[in-house]
Amino acid sequence: MADDIKLENYKKSAAKILDAWGAKIAEVGKKLAPIQEELDKLQANDSPSDDDKKKIEDLKRKCAELKKQLDSANVELHTDFMLIDIPPAADEKELVKLPGWLKDIIKRKGLPLGKNVSIAPTIDIDFKKKKVKSFGVKITF
């Protein structure tokens, strides 16, 4: 019974970490969406002017800066997840559900990053040691 409470506390901690990460990602997403939209419009032009080419390069630079912010947020997420411990006596049947539970939380949050951007969490749990071996998020543009 006490281990169930510890596992619930772990889930609450994980949810808080994901909320903080989601806020950072959403902020970057709000900045990224209009930049990506404008970049798509400019790149659709078959014969861009010199000004358009400069604008395209500037927008690509801005996208790269935002991607660095996403990468930084993901490193923080990974670090935060490595710092919280899974309860050592947690039931393995419940632990098997954790990766799906985490993916479901991220999916339900509906992190808006704009079109052509996807997020997929990756988690690897060592069930014997009851430790998170790795946790990350794959973001593709």
Instruction: Provide the pLDDT for residue 108.
Output: 67
pLDDT at 90 over 90: no
- Of 18, 24, 15, 40, which Cα lies nearest the Cα of 113? 24
For 44-88, write each residue's pLDDT tens digit.
888 888 998 899 999 999 999 998 998 898 888 888 888 887 777
- Of 98, 125, 103, 119, which Cα lies nearest the Cα of 24? 119
Report helix angle 98-109 to 2-44, nearest 10: 50
Torsional sign, CA 27, 28, 30, 31:
positive
pLDDT band at 6 (very low <50, low <70, confident <90, very high): confident
- Quick one: DSSP state of residue 49? -
> How far is residue 17's CA from residue 22's CA, in Å, rounded to a whole number?
8
Instruction: Provide the pLDDT for residue 88.
Output: 75
> How far is residue 121's CA from residue 38's CA, in Å, rounded to a whole number?
28
Q: Which of 12-16, 93-97, 105-109 has the lowest mean pLDDT?
A: 105-109
Instruction: Provide the pLDDT for residue 1.
Output: 52
Domain boundaries, the chain: 2-140
pLDDT at 30 over 60: yes
Q: Which of 6-15, 16-25, 96-105 has the lowest mean pLDDT?
A: 96-105
pLDDT at 12 over 60: yes
Structure tokens at 69: 């912010």
- Name the more confident of 138 and 37: 37
Q: How far is CA 123 from CA 2, 78, 102, 120, in A?
A: 25, 10, 9, 10
Instruction: Provide the pLDDT for residue 94.
Output: 76
Backbone angles phi, psi at 139, to 5 degrees: -115, 125
Instruction: Provide the pLDDT for residue 116.
Output: 61
Locate all alpha helices (DSSP H) within 2-137, ordered by sequence: 2-44, 50-83, 92-95, 98-109
